[in-house]
Amino acid sequence: MNRQKLTPEVEALYLTPLPPEEFERRVGALIAELDGPEGENLAELIRWFVRRYPTPAERLAYVRRAYGRWVTQHPAPPAPRPASRAGGA
């Protein structure tokens, strides 16, 4: 599996540990922002996922498998070409 190059800001976010309490607070705040069926659906999907993959190790294993499938099916786009100068000089 090829790893994509991350910007320093994104890499710092990725490498910085997030305490479980802070994670729960953030997820709860995001779910609370959703009204009606959308919020209920998201909460149910999270409950299903936690039941299906009850331990952190099982959750990480699933995410790694899913990410590997996604990367192989969606290759990185080609690098953008430099913009041409206006006026041709």
| Lookup: tokens for 75 | 């290759």
CA contacts within 13 A on the Cβ side of 59: 9
- Asked whether residue 82 is assigned to any structural domain, the reply reads no
Instruction: State residue 13's pLDDT score.
Output: 84
Q: Confidence class of residue 81 from pLDDT cuts 50, 70 and 90?
A: confident
Domain hosting 62: range is 8-73
- Asked whether residue 80 is assigned to any structural domain, the reply reads no
Q: How many domains does the chain have?
A: 1
Instruction: State residue 82's pLDDT score.
Output: 75
Instruction: State residue 50's pLDDT score.
Output: 95
- Asked whether residue 83 is assigned to any structural domain, the reply reads no
29 three-state secondary structure: helix
- Asked whether residue 33 is assigned to any structural domain, the reply reads yes
| Lookup: tokens for 61 | 């294993």
| Whether the model pTM is above 0.75 | no
Please compute the mean of the pLDDT values over residues 59-81 and round it to a whole number: 87
pLDDT digits (tens, 9 = 90+) for 2-37: 667 888 898 888 889 999 999 989 988 888 888 788
Asked if pLDDT for residue 63 goes beyond 90, the answer is yes
- Asked whether residue 88 is assigned to any structural domain, the reply reads no
- Asked whether residue 25 is assigned to any structural domain, the reply reads yes
